[in-house]
Amino acid sequence: MICPNIAEFDRSQIPSPKTLRSAPCEMRGVLDKLLDALKEMRSCVFRAGTLVLNDTEIAKQAGLQADELERNLPQMIARGMLARDDENALFSTVMYDRLLRREERATRTATADADWQQKQESGDVPPGLSRKAMSARENGKKGGRKRKGESDEEYYARKEREQAAQRAQQNMMMPIAGGNAAAQKPTQETQQVSVSDNLGSVGSTVEKSNNIYKPNSSSTGETQNPEPSIPDAEIKRVAYSIIRAFDENRKDQALHAMRYAKEWLNAGASEDLIIRTIHETVQKYRDLGKKVEHLGGFVKPMANALANQDLDEFRAQDKAPIAEDPEMAKARKKAQEANRLWASLFKQDSSFTKCSRLFNEQAKAHGLPPAHVRRNAEEYAAYYRANSQNTEAKAA
């Protein structure tokens, strides 16, 4: 592309194309035609070889009248959209700026390509590391890229402040070892949880499975008893039993088996319960034509098995059957009878109003509540209790 012959070009004075919104319509039209003519010439200056086009030739090249160009050219130069170079050739400042930026990008790309080629030839690039990954590593060493609109001075000043704050954070006084034993443990949640919350955490990490509130010895005056640790030999034995019950060929699950064995044993599960639950889950999936892909598929079944194990203790303590309320038994029986009667009436006539009228006519003979009472055991029991109280009150 042909460039203007100019010694100094102040790119900071180039106006934004948005400033043309306030320009007269005629001037905007003339400028559009001039820019289109430059694009057709593949140039940013009105020059044909070494010949500088005068205003008359420029008007002909752009398809304008000479008076139109003469009338609007001073204003376009004053607005900074056009300018003249050292040889008095008219050129577009915006198009010339774009050309300069394009050349700068090409120069930066060529320099980066040369640096990358040199690093590869000298062996400075680790094997298997791409150019993009290498650039990301270098940017990370510098503290990341500059923010949008941030100058180099602002960028370096900000990085110095952040590094100083980081050094000050590292030099802060740390807690001294000793004292309360609870201060040496990792931070854990100290919220009291219910049985269901504790059992629901079986499928997560071991720390979550032990997430139960324990009073602090400093506040209660009592020493904390550490939880009994399960021997590693027992954990390994149960982990091997888990893999054998799941799939003996899945040796890639060994690490997960160790983790789940420790979790489930700490949660109170026995080895028999673990193996039985795994066998039942595998058989359940097999009956559905599916397959358990990994040990994580046994997390929910084990949580359910542990919950049932805790509930079995209460079931064993209370063997006496719960006597059903006779009023509720009567209400349940009458509700079933009412539903059958309503279904037969509705089959004869689907009108809700007629069915309600017929139901009310036959309800008294069958000892049923009216149609407006919902046909379920709870509503019928409440109706019978209310009517029995009214009857007793009248008799009294």
184-228 confidence digits (pLDDT tens): 444 444 444 444 444 344 444 444 444 444 444 444 444 444 555
Q: What is the pLDDT of residues 46-63, one digit of tens each?
A: 988 889 999 999 999 999
DSSP, collapsed to helix, strand or coil, labels residue 129 as coil
Amino acid in the structure at residue 181: A
| pLDDT given for residue 215 in this prediction | 42
pLDDT tens-place string over residues 288-312 = 888 888 888 888 888 888 888 777 7
The answer to pTM > 0.75 is no
Name the token pair of 337. 């009878």
What residues contact 276, with CB distance under 8 A and at least 6 apart? 305
- CA torsion 37→42→46→51, rounded to 10°? -130
Buried b (16+ CB within 10 A) or exposed e, 45-75: bbbeeeebbeeeebbebbebeeebbeebbeb
Quote the CA–CA distance of 352 and 357 in Å, as a whole number: 9
- Cβ of 99: how many Cβ atoms within 10 Å? 17
